[in-house]
């Protein structure tokens, strides 16, 4: 069995709260602009221009982003090969550059669906 983690990033790096509060008022402040990824099999899987699978340290050094929170979701019995096949199928049908939508098909939707599958 392999542990599965959810990495939660703030794309605004703390600016969402202060800027949204200025424009929307303190009662409507947005805490963060989330980006999520699954950490499993020693890799970071996320949706960004297609489904990406990279070393977590590579993603962090390349993007300059570090998780604000990492949560253990549980364990999985599937193999990395089985998960990679699922990811390739999902990328060809649902999670690719042509289907990206800020509100309806983004990295958070991918992380949610991948964690459930």
| Full-model pTM | 0.89
Reply yes or no on whether the pLDDT at 9 is more than 90. Answer: yes
Higher pLDDT, 22 or 44: 44
Reply yes or no on whether the pLDDT at 39 is more than 90. Answer: yes
What is the structure's pLDDT at 15? 76
Q: How confident is the model at residue 29 (pLDDT cuts 50, 70, 90)?
A: confident
Listed ranges 14-28, 29-43, 81-95; the one with the highest mean pLDDT: 81-95
* Per-residue pLDDT tens digits for 41-87: 999 999 998 999 999 999 999 999 999 999 999 999 999 999 999 99
What is the structure's pLDDT at 25? 77
3-state DSSP assignment of residue 91: helix
Reference 39, options 30, 52, 50; nearest CA is: 52
Residue with tokens 């221009």, as numbered in its chain: 49
Q: CA separation (Å) from 25 to 15, 32, 72, 99?
A: 14, 15, 34, 33
Tokens linked to 68: 């604000």
Range 14-34 average pLDDT? 76
What is the structure's pLDDT at 34? 93
């Amino acid at each position: 069995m392999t542990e599965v983690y959810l990495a939660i990033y703030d794309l605004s790096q703390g600016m969402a709260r202060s800027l949204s509060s200025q424009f929307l008022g303190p009662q409507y402040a947005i805490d963060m602009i989330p980006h999520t990824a699954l950490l499993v099999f020693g890799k970071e899987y996320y949706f960004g221009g297609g489904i990406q699978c990279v070393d977590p340290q590579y993603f962090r050094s390349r993007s300059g982003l570090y998780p604000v929170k990492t949560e253990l979701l549980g364990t999985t019995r599937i193999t990395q090969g089985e998960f990679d096949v699922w990811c390739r199928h999902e990328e060809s049908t649902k999670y690719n550059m042509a289907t990206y939508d800020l509100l309806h098909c983004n990295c958070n939707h991918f992380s949610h669906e991948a964690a459930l599958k």
